[in-house]
Each structure stands twice: as C-alpha cells, then as structure tokens.
Structure 1
C-alpha cells in the first residue's frame, strides 16, 4: 500500500471513530427542573432564609423579654443569735424577712424595650434582604445551568459540523482536489471539537450540581424546559424607595441611637425599695421594716459606655451615608448594564443569523471547489463563536437583572416572593 493511500485510510478511520464517538453521546436527562417560579416558592427553605427567620424569632423573643419587670428579691436575716453571753442561743435573736424591688426609674425599662424593638426591625429587614439575595442566587444558578446546557448542545453541533466538513474534505482528498495534509488538519479540528464537547459536558454537570444544591432539589437536576435566558426582564422603572441595603443600614443606625438612651439612663442610680417583718425573740414581738437603697454615683457614672454608644451611632450614620452613595452608583451601573446586555442580545442574535448564512454559503462554495478548506474552517469557527456569544449575552442579561432587582428590593424578572 502506498503512503498516500495509507494516510487516507488512517484519516478515514480517524474521522469514523470520531463520528461514532459523537453518535454515542446523547442527553441522558430524564426529569426537567421545575420552573424558576416554582423553585422560588420554596425559597423559604434555603439555609440563608431559615437562618434569617430564626434570627427574627430570636429578636422578637428578646423584645418580649425586655418588657418584663425584674423579679423581686426575698431575703431572710438573723441578728444577735448564736453568739456569747446574753446572745448565746437564739433567745435574743432578731429575724427579718423582707422583699425588695427595683423600681426601674428614669425610663429604664422603656429604653431597654426601645433597643430590643429596634433590633427586631433590623432583623426583619435583614430577613427580607436574605430572601432577596437567595432569590437572586437561585436565578443566577438557574441561568448558569441553562447556559451550560446550551453550550453543551452547541458543542455537539460544532462537532457534527466539523465531522461533516471533514467528510466533505475527504471526498475532495480522494478525488485529488485537496492535498492530504488538509485532511489531517480536518482530523485535528475534529479532535479539538471532541475535547471541547467533553469540557462542555463537565461544565454542564457542574452547573446542574450547583443548581441542585442552591434550589435544594430532592433529586439531582437534569434538564431545563422553562427558559430563563430567553425571558425579557421587566422595563427599568426608577424607584423612589431605598434599597434593602440602605434600609438595613438605617435600621442599624436607629438601634444604635436607641442604645444611647439606654446608656444615659444607666448613669442614673438604681432605686430599690424594701418592706419586711422583723421578729424580736426576747420581747416576743414583731415589727415592720421599710427601706430605700440606691448606689452613690461617686466613681462610676457610665460615661465610657455613653460615649461609646454615641461613637457607635456616628459610625452607623456614616455607614448609612456610604450605603446610600454606593447604592446610587450601583443602581445607575446596573441599569446601564441591563440596557447594554439587552442590546447585546439583539446584536448577537443578528450575528448568529449572519454567521449561519455565511457558513451555509461557504459550505456550498467549498463543495463546488470555489472556497478553500481554510475559509470553510474560518466560517465554521465564526458560527460557533457567534452562537456561544449569544448564550453569553443572555447570561449577562440575567446577571444584570439579578443585580438590579436586588438593588430595587424585588425578585428578579418581576416574580413575587
């Protein structure tokens, strides 16, 4: 057998092997993933949402506890007993049973309740923020899984096109219209397309695994029927309400301001009153006792804690200003990215249409002998790149919508929570 024939045989065998490997690959998915809206109904079961809900319950419990009055104190005292001389034994003892109560003057309990309620409002806003963040992460994981699935399909199609071009080239090589090394190049391109398909399959499996974890699905995610990539985001409407991040920062500032009042009240003395009964064993008599006690504020006037509370309020106020500035800039950027991504989707769709027509004409020209194999490969690569760019543009649009929705305090794509 001549070297030329041997090389052609090896080329034919290589292309056949690649074709058989391609035919063996097919989607093994059976159960489609529920729609994004269905998954969103279960957003409260995600770990982040459960944690935020538990923290709300804890804050509500602390608010209830803050409104409870302190318990009275019961004391029993014995004097002049079990000593020496006339005080030996218990005959001359004086026994006092008394009850004392902290009066919580100066608005102490009201300040404590105010702080607990402010912290409760903060926890509610944090829960809402955690729910919105979980909805955004779910939308992103959903879109990334769908994009990975589409890239896998595109990789399959790219391999099919490469194999079809290699077969057409082999006919020309057998007819002597193309040199043998062109066939070898086609075989190399087919091998590269097969490797790209393997990579796309791995990326698809990883993306579906992430979606399974984020959505907390009982069974592994398989395929997606309800597209999120093709969904048009709602029209960008300016909002006058503050973003969730700003509202949380404002609630934290209000709680910090409430702590100033608590520390101011703590600087005043605790007043306690007591009433009791005293028993005189020697006289076989009893009498009532009354008392008022309070610490003398000679050394500790709580100035350090009061100044610290004021400093923490100033820090919280600075965080509010920073959050407002950052949110304003992020909101403008997210709106611009969403408009740009939407325009890019239209542009890439037009690019795919043009690339498909260019490849079709190149294939016709190649089979007629008017177009070289290099030009055919170039048009095929342009088609593959255009199709992947269309997927990337849609994924970028979803990401922009997720960012904008979080800043506007809503679920992505106008869905309700």
Structure 2
C-alpha cells in the first residue's frame, strides 16, 4: 500500500527530476576533481583576473625603465619689430631639450616597480593555491550534499516500509490505528527532508559550476572524492616563510620599502640639457645654442612624503610579523584539526555500522510484534543521523586536509601551481 499524498503535492523524486530537468539541456558531465582543477586553470574568472593583474604589474615594471621623451622648442623673436635700415631684427631659435633624472631617481623607480611586480606574482601563486583548495571544498561539499540527498531518499524508502508494516499490523488487529498515523507522519517528514536535501544538492552543484567557470551546469558528482581524497604527508622542516600569506606579506613589505627610496629621491632636481641653433634674420648666419635647466628644491624637499612612506613601511613590517604569528597558529590548529577529523571519521563509520545493524534487528522485532513502533522510528532516525554524521565527518576531513595544505603553501589534492 502506498502513501497517500495531499492533492497537488509531488514526491521528492519528482521534485529532484524537475530541478535537474530545468538544466538538462545544459547538462555537463562532472569531471574528477583533478581534471576539474586542470580545466579551471585556464577558464576560472578568478584565476584569469589575477593573471591579468600580474601581467599588468610586469608591464608597469617595463614601463618604469623608459626614458623621458625629449622636447622640441621653436621660438621666433622680434616679430613685427623695427627694421633699422630696412633690415629685419627677427631671430628664430630651435632647441631640443632632454631631461635627465639625477640622483638615482630612475633606478629607484625601476626597483619599486620591480618589487610590485614580484608581489603581484606571489599574490597570483597564493590565489591559485587558495582557489584550488576552495574548489576542493566546493567539490567535496557538492558530493556530501548529494550523499545526504541519497540518505534522505533511503530514509523515505524505509519510512514507507515502516508505514506498510504498521498498516498490516493494524489490519491484523495487533496495533492501534494511532500507529498508522504516527508512521504516516514520520513518512511525510522524511519526504520533506528529502526534498530539502535534493534542493541543497542542486544549489551546491550550481556553486561548483560557477566556481569552476563551467559553461554548462553540473548535475551530479559521478566520481567519488570524499572517500578517496588522501592527505599528503605533513611537510618536514616546515617554516612560516613557506606559507602563502607570509610570502605575500613579505613581498608587500619589500614593495613598500622600495617606495621609501623613491620618495627620498623625489625632491632631487631633474637636469634638462638643451642644444639647438639660432638663425638671424638680417643675415644667413646662425649660431649654436646650449642650455641647462634645473629645478631648485627651495621650498619642497618632500620630507612629509618620505615620512609617510617610512610609516607605511613600518606598518608593512608589523603586518609581516602578524602574518608570521598567525601562520604558525593556523598550522598548529590545522594539525590538531587533521588528527581530530581522522578520529571523528573512524568513530562515525563505527556508529553507522552499529546503527545499520540496530535498524535491521528493530525491523525484525517490529515485524514479529516484539518492538514498539515508536522505538522503531527512533532507531530509523538514529540510522539516518549516523549516515549523515559519517558524511559530515568525511567533509570535515577534507576541510582539515585543505586547511593544513593551505597553511603549508601547497595544493591539497593536486599539483603545485
């Protein structure tokens, strides 16, 4: 006998079919995590944006090496002036001026832009490590929610079996009608939970598709990741300097310190050297013109600019120390989380095995009239909770591996960037 549903209500399986069917035309097979990570390197918007920023910084570093362009000056004098003896007094002067940065200003600018380019490169590497671990968590989360949906489906099937058994016992006069109402309520709750779990699984797959930069939405994880994700050995002789956050902070400090030298050189005068010729209107003769221009730092020696840059450098040094301490703390915490996650997963798997056996015995007892329905429902609920706990423990293990790998500056489940 099947469960009677209110008019207009659809089973959870039909709901899931509709949710997946909405994107069936744009369905894409979900690759393994390793393959997905490889594909994402060339199409994920986050990585492409960071790569563009790195190229821009490199172009700025090249531009910093460019010399100043020379300037051409043409001056006509005595136009319309008096002409003694009918002879024009006009003079035309043509000069070419080249400005040279004195006192090491150019080299300081080149060094500052080079340090910025180095920082951009390190930030790109950090972004790739962060992205790879984020993608691993999104992949694991999508699989975990898919498994939870399957657990919910199994709970619905067990609820329907319990309902049919209760109806049979009531019909045989061995149970009161109340037991059927209790079993029907439990089955309805299981269906609601299954619908919610199916929607959550679809949402997680959509997030994974967006993160991976996929043109088509993924609809199912077909290649297990939670069960096969293996932790790499803990890095030996690890130091905080290997962490991406520390390396990024160090590169930022170097870039800011290089900017201090730029500010220290900014007040120094630029020297302009001019060469040219002057033509005299009253004859066919001309004369050479040579000049030097020099801006005099009489009022502004950029002292406040130097002080500001120095304070920014001090702040960057302090941020570097903070990053070192935070990295060490995160690494110790990640090691503890890793060990705890392994123990939690083992305990959850044992709990699930015990709950599965308990439900099997409970059903046998209920069919024999030796176990109360309310007790059977509690045992079934405990089985679902145990299965869910195993899934959550597997996900927590993957998260712990990713956290530890991130603290050590490496990708958890793929090749180094």
- Same topology, TM > 0.5: yes
Asked whether the 8 Å contact 1:81–1:88 carries over to 2, the reply is no
Which residue of the partner structure matches residue 243 of structure 2? 243
Asked whether the 8 Å contact 1:22–1:160 carries over to 2, the reply is no
Which residue of the partner structure matches residue 272 of structure 1? 272
Shift of 1:87: 7.7
Asked whether the 8 Å contact 1:43–1:135 carries over to 2, the reply is no
Partners of 1:285 and 1:24 in 2: CA distance: 100
Q: From the superposition, tell whether residues 173 and 16 of structure 1 become closer, same or farther in structure 2 (CA, over 3 Å).
A: farther
Q: From the superposition, tell whether residues 15 and 414 of structure 1 become closer, same or farther in structure 2 (CA, over 3 Å).
A: same
SS class of match (1:192): helix
How many aligned positions are there? Answer: 404
Q: From the superposition, tell whether residues 65 and 23 of structure 1 become closer, same or farther in structure 2 (CA, over 3 Å).
A: closer
Which stretch shows the higher mean deviation, 352-361 or 393-402?
393-402
For 1:239-318, what aligned pairs fall within 5 Å after superposition? 239-240=238-239, 241-318=241-318
Asked whether the 8 Å contact 2:45–2:213 carries over to 1, the reply is no
Partners of 2:322 and 2:73 in 1: CA distance: 54
- In the alignment, structure 1 residue 138 sits paired with structure 2 residue 135: yes
Choose which of 163, 173, 176 in structure 2 pairs with 1:176. 173
For 1:4-403, what aligned pairs fall within 5 Å after superposition? 14=3, 21=11, 32-44=29-41, 45-83=43-81, 85-86=82-83, 91-230=88-227, 231-238=229-236, 239-240=238-239, 241-403=241-403
Q: From the superposition, tell whether residues 99 and 237 of structure 1 become closer, same or farther in structure 2 (CA, over 3 Å).
A: same
Which residue of the partner structure matches residue 9 of structure 1? none
Shift of 1:164: 0.8
Q: Could you report, residue by residue, the CA deviation over 1:164-192 in whole angstroms, capped at 9, with x for unpaired residues?
A: 11111222111221111011100100011
Shift of 1:361: 1.1
Any stretches of 5+ residues in structure 1 without a counterpart? 1-11
Asked whether the 8 Å contact 1:276–1:290 carries over to 2, the reply is yes
SS class of match (2:361): helix
Any stretches of 5+ residues in structure 2 without a counterpart? none
SS class of match (1:103): strand
Partners of 1:259 and 1:89 in 2: CA distance: 61
Asked whether the 8 Å contact 1:82–1:89 carries over to 2, the reply is no
Shift of 1:103: 2.1
Q: From the superposition, tell whether residues 397 and 80 of structure 1 become closer, same or farther in structure 2 (CA, over 3 Å).
A: same
Which residue of the partner structure matches residue 413 of structure 1? 413
Q: From the superposition, tell whether residues 295 and 17 of structure 1 become closer, same or farther in structure 2 (CA, over 3 Å).
A: closer
Partners of 2:35 and 2:316 in 1: CA distance: 38
Partners of 2:76 and 2:28 in 1: CA distance: 80
Partners of 2:298 and 2:5 in 1: CA distance: 96
Which stretch shows the higher mean deviation, 393-402 or 251-260?
393-402
Q: From the superposition, tell whether residues 215 and 136 of structure 1 become closer, same or farther in structure 2 (CA, over 3 Å).
A: same
Asked whether the 8 Å contact 1:141–1:211 carries over to 2, the reply is yes
Partners of 1:317 and 1:258 in 2: CA distance: 13
Which residue of the partner structure matches residue 8 of structure 1? none
Partners of 1:126 and 1:202 in 2: CA distance: 36
Shift of 1:139: 1.0
Q: From the superposition, tell whether residues 31 and 51 of structure 1 become closer, same or farther in structure 2 (CA, over 3 Å).
A: closer
Q: Could you report, residue by residue, the CA deviation over 1:339-397 in whole angstroms, capped at 9, with x for unpaired residues?
A: 21121111100110010111111111112222111111111111000000001111111
Asked whether the 8 Å contact 1:75–1:97 carries over to 2, the reply is yes
SS class of match (2:217): coil
Give the aligned CA root-mean-square deviation in angstroms. 2.3
Which stretch shows the higher mean deviation, 25-34 or 272-281?
25-34
Q: From the superposition, tell whether residues 13 and 262 of structure 1 become closer, same or farther in structure 2 (CA, over 3 Å).
A: closer
Shift of 1:414: 4.6
Q: From the superposition, tell whether residues 332 and 88 of structure 1 become closer, same or farther in structure 2 (CA, over 3 Å).
A: farther
Which residue of the partner structure matches residue 4 of structure 1? none
Which stretch shows the higher mean deviation, 277-286 or 373-382?
277-286
Shift of 1:31: 5.7
